Homo-oligomer: A and B are copies of this chain.
Amino acid sequence: MTGRDGGADIGPIGEFDPVVILVRPQLGENIGTTARAMANGGLFHLRLVAPRDGWPQERAWSASSGAHRILDAATVYPTVDEAVADLHHVFATCPRPRHIIKPIMTARGAASELRVHAMRGLRCGLLFGPERAGLDNEDMARADTLIRYPLNPDFMSLNLAQAVLVMAYEWFLTEDTTLPRELMTNETQIATKGDLENFMTHLLRELDDSGFLHNEQKRPGMVRNLRHFFTRGEVTEQELRTLHGVVSELVRARKAGRTPKP
User: Which residues of A approach B to under 8 Å, CB–CB?
Assistant: 8-11, 33, 36-37, 39-42, 65-67, 97-106, 108-109, 112, 146, 148-159, 161-162, 165-166, 169, 172-173, 176, 178-186, 188, 233-234, 236, 238-239
In the assembled complex, how far is the CB of residue A151 from the closest CB belonging to chain B, in whole angstroms?
5
A166 to B40, CA, bound (A): 12
Interface of A is mostly: loop
Residues of chain B within 8 A of A103, CB atoms compared: 181-184, 233-234
Given that A155-B67, A162-B165 are known contacts, is A184 also in contact with B97, CB under 8 Å in the complex? yes
Residues of chain B within 8 A of A169, CB atoms compared: 149, 151, 166, 169
11 additional A-B residue pairs with CB within 8 Å, beyond A40-B157, A105-B182: A11-B152, A39-B154, A40-B162, A66-B157, A100-B186, A101-B185, A101-B186, A102-B183, A108-B173, A108-B180, A169-B169
A40 to B180, CA, bound (A): 23
Q: Which of B37, B102, B151, B186 contacts A184 (CB 8 A)?
A: B102
